[in-house]
Amino acid sequence: MKRNDRYLIDQINPQESWRIFRIMAEFVDGIETLSSLEPAVTIFGSARCKPDDKYYLMAVELAGMLAREGYSIITGGGPGIMEAANKGAYEAGGQSVGLNIVLPFEQSLNPYTNIHINFRYFFVRKVMFVKYAMSYVIFPGGFGTMDELFEALTLIQTDKLKPFPVILVGSDFWGGLLSWITDTMLKELKIVEEDLRIFTVVDSAADAVEIIKNTKVH
């Protein structure tokens, strides 16, 4: 064995090696738990949205409509829009899935899930969101919501993911961002016209459901 190889082996932290197995375990748990889901829609949005907010109420309505059409609903399992979507699916008798992330603040599993998994790693959880979804519905939210939105757009844009509906709810909330995408990103040729067709903006639960129902499950 070369001296450099010996040095590298000596530098390996046993805790880092065991982390690989924790990551593998989360993947296995997620796949085993979710592999039998009916066609699923993943719904994202702010954890800080209150029950009297119009978007909370719309998320309850949307998830209930989808559940009655036979779709499973997947959320991040926390409060706000996530709770609203789980509540709508749960009360409609559907499969209500919460993929909770363990955080030191803000996030705790809401009571409206009948299938749930706790994740330690964001990236494993993100794979589960997209692997079992045939559509994303994005309600107003913060950094985490934007992260999920732009990751989906990037995966579809780069052909790493088969195109599926990415639906943004609330033209009043998304209007500023969409204007910047069109007036700055597109104008400066950072994206192309075709990229704007990856997503759709709606202002009602019924419009979102119609788009999803007209999408072939792949």
Asked, for residue 33, whether it belongs to a domain, the answer is yes
Residues of the domain holding 112: 3-213
Q: How many CB atoms lie within 10 A of CB 163?
A: 13
Asked, for residue 103, whether it belongs to a domain, the answer is yes
Asked, for residue 186, whether it belongs to a domain, the answer is yes
Asked, for residue 218, whether it belongs to a domain, the answer is no
Which of these, 48, 93, 46, lies nearest to 67 by C-alpha position? 93
Q: Which residues contact 74 (CB under 8 A, 6 or more apart)?
A: 37, 40, 41, 42, 43, 97, 99, 128, 129, 132, 133
pLDDT at 9: 47
Q: Report residue 115: phi and psi, to 5°.
A: -135, 125
Asked, for residue 34, whether it belongs to a domain, the answer is yes
pLDDT at 142: 97
- Check which CATH number belongs to the domain holding 191 and give it: 3.40.50.450
Asked, for residue 87, whether it belongs to a domain, the answer is yes
User: What total of structural domains would you count in the chain?
Assistant: 1
pLDDT tens for the chain, 218 residues: list them: 455 555 444 555 667 778 889 999 999 999 999 998 989 999 999 999 999 999 999 999 999 999 999 999 999 999 999 999 999 999 999 999 999 988 776 568 999 999 999 999 999 999 999 999 999 999 999 999 999 999 999 999 999 999 999 999 999 999 999 999 999 999 999 999 999 999 999 999 999 999 999 987 65
Q: What is the pTM of this model?
A: 0.89
pLDDT at 216: 74
First-to-last alpha carbon distance for the chain, in angstroms, is 50
Asked, for residue 146, whether it belongs to a domain, the answer is yes
Residue 134 near residue 162 (C-beta atoms within 8 A):
no
